[in-house]
Structure formats: C-alpha cells, structure tokens
Amino acid sequence: MQSGWQILLRSQLPAGKGRGAKMDVLILDTIGELARFYSLGEFAFVGGSLVPLGGHNPLEAVQRGLPVVFGPHMENFRDIAAILTESGGGFQISDENKLFEQLRAWLTEPAATKEQVQKAQRDLQPHQGAMARNLAIIKSLLGKR
C-alpha cells in the first residue's frame, strides 16, 4: 500500500488464527465482531457513515474509551454525533485528508485525546437508559387499557 502500512481484512484471518498476524490496520469486514475488536484499538473510524444509509452507531467505540471519526452520513445518529463533536471525543470528516489529519493529531497527543474521550463519556451519561424509560412508558400505557 502507498502509506506503507500493513493492512489486513478480518475476512482474511482464519478463525482463531489472528493472534500472530502482522498488521498496522485491521479492516473489519465481518458481522458481529465489532464490539470485541474495539478493546484492541487506539481510535475508531466508523466507515458505515461514508454512504447515505443512515450512518453507524459510534457509541460502542466511545464506551470502550476510543475517540471516533465518522463520515458525513450520520442521519440516524445526529444527536450522538453532535455530542461527540462538541466534546472532542468524535470528529466528522468529509474526506481522507481530514481523516488522516485527525488520526495524526490523536496519535501525537494521546493525553489530550484521552481527556476528550472522557469528556465525551461524561457528556453522553445523561442520555443513557433510553430503553428503560421507553419500557416504563409502554407499561404505563398498557396498564391504562
């Protein structure tokens, strides 16, 4: 690759044989493994936000302490994207130059990056528990019948 980075697709790793694989970048192109891999990273790029299909949820990455970069299509996650960009724990990019610029900043300032992610986690806390609140509303409505 032009960057000199060793890039590997997850689908290229045989099941259970990935531990010794040499790579700088792992691209997850499989389903159901994302949360497990976040704990191995230093930051996350939410690629599902590059296409106009509503975006992809960046919360799992932030919950695991990773700053997150996402593309222009976050229609289904507008509020989350706004909280993350305001706190500095997430950045919305429009092209690959902005992506590499942000990743470089995070790599050169790890202490500041950690503070930004912690702020993002604090800023997201008041919004947790939506499912419990929705279930309580549903139960109260069902109880009135």
Per-residue pLDDT tens for 65-102?
999 999 999 999 999 999 999 888 889 998 889 998 99
How far apart are alpha carbons 63 and 14 in whole angstroms? 28
Together in a domain, 4 and 68: no
What is the CATH classification number for the domain harbouring 96? 3.40.50.2000
pLDDT for 18 equals 61
How far apart are alpha carbons 71 and 113 in whole angstroms? 19
User: Is the Cβ–Cβ distance between 58 and 90 less than 8 Å?
Assistant: yes
pLDDT for 96 equals 86
pLDDT for 38 equals 85
DSSP assignments along 1-24, one per residue: -TT---EEEGGGSPTT--TT---S
Together in a domain, 58 and 128: yes
Together in a domain, 90 and 137: yes
Strands (E), the chain: 7-9, 25-27, 44-46, 68-70, 90-92
Together in a domain, 24 and 51: no
Together in a domain, 71 and 129: yes
Round to the nearest angstrom and report the end-to-end CA distance of the chain.
63
Per-residue pLDDT tens for 89-144?
889 998 889 998 998 999 999 998 899 889 989 988 888 888 898 899 999 999 87
Together in a domain, 21 and 58: no
User: Is the Cβ–Cβ distance between 42 and 24 less than 8 Å?
Assistant: no
- Assign 136 to helix, strand or coil: helix
pLDDT for 83 equals 92
pLDDT for 32 equals 82
What would the 3-class secondary structure string for 55-71 be? CCCCHHHHHCCCCEEEC
pLDDT for 4 equals 80
- What is the chain's Cα-based Rg? 18
Domain limits for position 12: 1-30
Structure confidence at residue 19 as a pLDDT band (50, 70, 90): low
35 belongs to a structural domain: no
pLDDT for 2 equals 63
Together in a domain, 24 and 56: no
Per-residue pLDDT tens for 27-64?
888 888 888 888 888 889 888 888 898 888 898 899 88
36 belongs to a structural domain: no
